[in-house]
Amino acid sequence: MREMVARCRELVETIYIQYDASHDLDHIDRVMKNAEKILLKEPAADKLVVQLAVLLHDIEDAKYEAMHEATTNEMLDQIGASADLSAKVLSAIESVSFNGGHAKEITSIEGAIVRDADRLDAIGAIGIARAFAFGGARGRKLYDLEEEARRTMSASEYRAKETASVTHFHEKLLLLKELMVTTEGMRLAEERHDFMVSFLKQLKNEIE
């Protein structure tokens, strides 16, 4: 198991090194640490499925699809994953993406753990840093006082509009605490959410 995970990490490193700082290998490592914390409270979960899903969950992210031609299936084949293991990993990955509030339904505890672990890295101090890192990489404004956060949108609409970074907090990041699935994920999200709220209050004071 360790050899398979180590080999997978070697493969994904060549992909994530091409991404900006918001979705690089450091992001993957942080999500892995989050997942390991949640796994301690979910002993029935398959650790190997969780670890591989964490390592592979951003390989086919639509935001970076033009950067490489690798697929999750190819990576699983290269590390010698069985058909059953591959199916479980792919199923766990499917429900990770937020998609403007249109995430696919979670079908396993492994999927719940990976999604919560990924979303924990999208909030709190690191979530703030990542939001502005991504916005900077895409040339987005820090904030736009005239821009209204969208309350309802399709997945394609969510992807299409390049909103200011602060608007992204209201369209996604501030919603994540209530969307956590695991008990440990919910607990860990509390402090991170509160920190974001404090940050936005301070930012508003400085802008005004």
Residue by residue, DSSP assigns 80-123 as T--HHHHHHHHHHHHTT--GGG-PPPP-SHHHHHHHHHHHHTTS
pTM, full prediction = 0.93
Structure-block tokens of residue 156: 């394609």
At 120 the pLDDT is 98
80-101 b/e (C-beta count within 10 Å ≥ 16 → b) = ebeeebbebbbbbbbbbbbbbb
Q: How far apart are CA 61 and CA 23, in angstroms?
A: 10
Structure-block tokens of residue 99: 């998609």
Q: How far apart are CA 180 and CA 50, in angstroms?
A: 16
Nearest to 35 by CA among 26, 25, 45: 45
Total domains present in the chain = 1
Structure-block tokens of residue 88: 């479980």
State the residue range of the domain holding 192. 2-207
Q: How far apart are CA 27 and CA 183, in angstroms?
A: 22
In which residue ranges of the chain is pLDDT below 50?
Answer: none
At 100 the pLDDT is 61
Task: Find the length of the chain.
Answer: 208
Task: Report the mean per-residue pLDDT for the chain.
Answer: 94
At 154 the pLDDT is 73
